[in-house]
Protein backbone atom coordinates (compact mmCIF):
# COMPACT_ATOMS: atom_id res chain seq x y z
CA UNK A 1 0.00 0.00 0.00
CA UNK A 2 1.24 3.45 -0.95
CA UNK A 3 1.36 6.26 1.65
CA UNK A 4 1.16 9.90 0.52
CA UNK A 5 1.69 13.01 2.65
CA UNK A 6 0.51 16.41 1.42
CA UNK A 7 3.13 18.94 2.56
CA UNK A 8 0.44 21.61 2.95
CA UNK A 9 -0.20 19.95 6.29
CA UNK A 10 2.82 21.91 7.61
CA UNK A 11 1.00 25.19 6.91
CA UNK A 12 -2.07 23.90 8.73
CA UNK A 13 0.08 22.88 11.73
CA UNK A 14 1.51 26.42 11.83
CA UNK A 15 -2.01 27.91 11.72
CA UNK A 16 -3.22 25.71 14.57
CA UNK A 17 -0.08 26.56 16.54
CA UNK A 18 -0.74 30.29 16.08
CA UNK A 19 -4.34 29.88 17.26
CA UNK A 20 -3.18 27.68 20.17
CA UNK A 21 -5.11 24.63 18.89
CA UNK A 22 -2.16 22.41 17.94
CA UNK A 23 -3.03 19.72 20.53
CA UNK A 24 -6.57 19.50 19.21
CA UNK A 25 -5.30 19.07 15.64
CA UNK A 26 -2.79 16.34 16.58
CA UNK A 27 -5.45 14.42 18.55
CA UNK A 28 -7.82 14.78 15.57
CA UNK A 29 -5.22 13.38 13.13
CA UNK A 30 -4.34 10.43 15.44
CA UNK A 31 -7.93 9.28 15.84
CA UNK A 32 -8.95 9.83 12.24
CA UNK A 33 -5.97 7.58 11.37
CA UNK A 34 -7.39 4.90 13.70
CA UNK A 35 -10.77 5.44 12.01
CA UNK A 36 -9.25 4.76 8.59
CA UNK A 37 -7.23 1.79 9.85
CA UNK A 38 -10.49 0.23 11.07
CA UNK A 39 -11.86 0.62 7.52
CA UNK A 40 -8.68 -0.96 6.14
CA UNK A 41 -8.86 -3.91 8.56
CA UNK A 42 -12.42 -4.79 7.53
CA UNK A 43 -11.64 -4.06 3.87
CA UNK A 44 -8.77 -6.55 3.87
CA UNK A 45 -10.87 -9.03 5.88
CA UNK A 46 -13.55 -9.10 3.16
CA UNK A 47 -10.94 -9.50 0.43
CA UNK A 48 -10.30 -5.90 -0.58
CA UNK A 49 -6.99 -4.53 -1.86
CA UNK A 50 -5.76 -1.24 -0.28
CA UNK A 51 -4.42 1.26 -2.81
CA UNK A 52 -3.12 4.21 -0.79
CA UNK A 53 -3.40 6.10 2.47
CA UNK A 54 -3.30 9.88 1.98
CA UNK A 55 -2.48 12.31 4.80
CA UNK A 56 -3.74 15.75 3.81
CA UNK A 57 -4.28 19.05 5.68
CA UNK A 58 -7.91 18.19 6.38
CA UNK A 59 -7.45 14.62 7.60
CA UNK A 60 -6.68 11.16 6.23
CA UNK A 61 -8.30 9.23 3.40
CA UNK A 62 -8.02 5.59 2.40
CA UNK A 63 -8.45 4.30 -1.14
CA UNK A 64 -8.96 0.69 -2.27
CA UNK A 65 -8.33 -0.90 -5.66
CA UNK A 66 -11.32 -3.14 -4.98
CA UNK A 67 -13.57 -4.12 -2.09
CA UNK A 68 -13.34 -7.88 -2.50
CA UNK A 69 -16.77 -9.30 -1.77
CA UNK A 70 -18.96 -6.76 -3.54
CA UNK A 71 -22.11 -7.44 -1.52
CA UNK A 72 -24.50 -4.99 0.13
CA UNK A 73 -23.93 -5.99 3.76
CA UNK A 74 -20.15 -6.22 3.35
CA UNK A 75 -20.08 -2.64 2.06
CA UNK A 76 -22.32 -1.41 4.88
CA UNK A 77 -19.98 -3.09 7.39
CA UNK A 78 -16.94 -1.53 5.70
CA UNK A 79 -18.40 1.99 5.83
CA UNK A 80 -19.80 1.83 9.36
CA UNK A 81 -16.76 0.29 11.08
CA UNK A 82 -14.83 3.61 11.19
CA UNK A 83 -17.49 5.48 13.21
CA UNK A 84 -17.93 2.39 15.43
CA UNK A 85 -14.17 2.37 16.15
CA UNK A 86 -14.33 6.03 17.26
CA UNK A 87 -17.38 5.30 19.42
CA UNK A 88 -15.58 2.39 21.11
CA UNK A 89 -12.51 4.56 21.82
CA UNK A 90 -14.72 7.30 23.34
CA UNK A 91 -16.42 4.69 25.56
CA UNK A 92 -13.06 3.22 26.70
CA UNK A 93 -11.69 6.65 27.69
CA UNK A 94 -14.98 7.49 29.40
CA UNK A 95 -14.52 4.45 31.64
CA UNK A 96 -10.93 5.31 32.60
CA UNK A 97 -10.53 6.43 36.20
CA UNK A 98 -8.08 9.29 35.68
CA UNK A 99 -9.52 12.59 34.53
CA UNK A 100 -7.66 15.32 32.71
CA UNK A 101 -8.09 17.71 29.78
CA UNK A 102 -6.71 15.23 27.22
CA UNK A 103 -9.13 12.51 28.32
CA UNK A 104 -12.04 14.90 27.83
CA UNK A 105 -10.70 16.10 24.47
CA UNK A 106 -10.10 12.53 23.26
CA UNK A 107 -13.68 11.59 24.16
CA UNK A 108 -15.14 14.64 22.42
CA UNK A 109 -12.89 14.19 19.37
CA UNK A 110 -13.92 10.56 18.89
CA UNK A 111 -17.60 11.30 19.41
CA UNK A 112 -17.31 14.16 16.91
CA UNK A 113 -15.56 11.89 14.38
CA UNK A 114 -18.20 9.19 14.87
CA UNK A 115 -21.24 11.42 14.34
CA UNK A 116 -19.50 13.69 11.81
CA UNK A 117 -18.76 10.71 9.56
CA UNK A 118 -22.35 9.48 9.85
CA UNK A 119 -23.70 12.70 8.28
CA UNK A 120 -25.49 11.44 5.13
CA UNK A 121 -23.40 13.33 2.56
CA UNK A 122 -20.72 12.13 0.17
CA UNK A 123 -18.01 11.09 0.60
CA UNK A 124 -18.53 10.62 4.35
CA UNK A 125 -19.41 7.15 5.62
CA UNK A 126 -23.04 8.17 6.23
CA UNK A 127 -23.37 9.30 2.62
CA UNK A 128 -21.88 6.07 1.31
CA UNK A 129 -24.22 4.00 3.48
CA UNK A 130 -27.20 6.01 2.19
CA UNK A 131 -25.98 5.57 -1.39
CA UNK A 132 -25.76 1.78 -0.95
CA UNK A 133 -29.28 1.69 0.51
CA UNK A 134 -30.63 3.78 -2.39
CA UNK A 135 -28.71 1.71 -4.95
CA UNK A 136 -30.37 -1.46 -3.67
CA UNK A 137 -33.81 0.18 -4.11
CA UNK A 138 -33.64 2.44 -7.22
CA UNK A 139 -30.39 1.41 -8.94
CA UNK A 140 -26.96 3.02 -9.28
CA UNK A 141 -27.81 5.88 -11.67
CA UNK A 142 -30.73 7.29 -9.66
CA UNK A 143 -28.86 6.71 -6.39
CA UNK A 144 -25.87 8.74 -7.67
CA UNK A 145 -28.07 11.62 -8.80
CA UNK A 146 -30.07 11.74 -5.58
CA UNK A 147 -27.08 11.54 -3.22
CA UNK A 148 -25.24 14.39 -4.98
CA UNK A 149 -28.28 16.70 -4.78
CA UNK A 150 -29.12 15.61 -1.22
CA UNK A 151 -25.49 16.06 -0.10
CA UNK A 152 -25.44 19.65 -1.37
CA UNK A 153 -28.70 20.55 0.41
CA UNK A 154 -27.47 19.06 3.71
CA UNK A 155 -24.07 20.73 3.30
CA UNK A 156 -25.64 24.18 2.79
CA UNK A 157 -27.70 23.65 5.96
CA UNK A 158 -24.61 22.54 7.90
CA UNK A 159 -22.66 25.55 6.62
CA UNK A 160 -25.30 27.90 8.02
CA UNK A 161 -25.19 26.17 11.44
CA UNK A 162 -21.37 26.00 11.48
CA UNK A 163 -21.15 29.70 10.60
CA UNK A 164 -23.13 30.57 13.74
CA UNK A 165 -20.90 28.26 15.83
CA UNK A 166 -17.73 29.86 14.44
CA UNK A 167 -18.99 33.32 15.44
CA UNK A 168 -20.07 32.17 18.93
CA UNK A 169 -17.24 29.84 20.04
CA UNK A 170 -14.44 31.25 17.84
CA UNK A 171 -12.91 27.80 17.31
CA UNK A 172 -10.76 27.41 14.18
CA UNK A 173 -11.38 23.63 14.21
CA UNK A 174 -15.03 24.23 13.28
CA UNK A 175 -13.94 26.33 10.30
CA UNK A 176 -11.59 23.59 9.13
CA UNK A 177 -14.32 20.96 9.44
CA UNK A 178 -16.59 23.11 7.28
CA UNK A 179 -13.88 23.66 4.67
CA UNK A 180 -13.09 19.93 4.76
CA UNK A 181 -16.73 19.04 4.07
CA UNK A 182 -16.92 21.37 1.06
CA UNK A 183 -13.55 20.12 -0.21
CA UNK A 184 -14.74 16.51 -0.06
CA UNK A 185 -18.08 17.32 -1.63
CA UNK A 186 -16.54 19.19 -4.59
CA UNK A 187 -14.34 16.19 -5.36
CA UNK A 188 -17.38 13.89 -5.31
CA UNK A 189 -19.45 16.30 -7.42
CA UNK A 190 -16.68 16.45 -10.03
CA UNK A 191 -16.50 12.64 -10.10
CA UNK A 192 -20.26 12.41 -10.50
CA UNK A 193 -20.38 14.75 -13.50
CA UNK A 194 -17.47 12.93 -15.15
CA UNK A 195 -19.34 9.63 -14.59
CA UNK A 196 -22.59 11.17 -15.93
CA UNK A 197 -20.95 12.53 -19.09
CA UNK A 198 -19.27 9.18 -19.74
CA UNK A 199 -22.53 7.30 -19.12
CA UNK A 200 -24.50 9.65 -21.42
CA UNK A 201 -21.88 9.29 -24.16
CA UNK A 202 -22.04 5.49 -23.99
CA UNK A 203 -25.86 5.57 -24.10
CA UNK A 204 -25.83 7.85 -27.17
CA UNK A 205 -23.40 5.53 -28.97
CA UNK A 206 -25.43 2.42 -28.13
CA UNK A 207 -28.74 4.01 -29.14
Q: Which helix (H) or strand (E) holds 56?
A: strand 49-56
Q: What is the pLDDT of residue 73?
A: 81
The average confidence (pLDDT) of the chain is 80
Kindly indicate the confidence band of residue 7, based on its pLDDT and cuts at 50, 70 and 90.
Answer: low
CA distance readout (Å), 155 to 10, 141, 145, 184, 207: 27, 21, 16, 11, 37
Q: pTM of whole model > 0.75? A: yes
Q: What is the pLDDT of residue 144?
A: 87
Q: What is the pLDDT of residues 112-145, one digit of tens each?
A: 889 888 988 888 899 999 998 998 888 888 888 8
Q: What is the pLDDT of residues 13-37, one digit of tens each?
A: 676 677 666 777 788 888 888 888 8
The residue ranking higher by pLDDT, 125 or 173, is 125
Distance (Å, rounded) from C-alpha 82 to C-alpha 32? 9
Kindly indicate the confidence band of residue 168, based on its pLDDT and cuts at 50, 70 and 90.
Answer: low
Amino acid sequence: MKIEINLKIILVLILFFIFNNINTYIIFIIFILIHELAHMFIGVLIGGTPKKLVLNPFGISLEFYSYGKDKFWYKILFYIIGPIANLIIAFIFLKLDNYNFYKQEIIYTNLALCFFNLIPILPLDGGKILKELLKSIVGLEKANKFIIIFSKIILISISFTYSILIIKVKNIMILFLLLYLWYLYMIEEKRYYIYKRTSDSIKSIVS
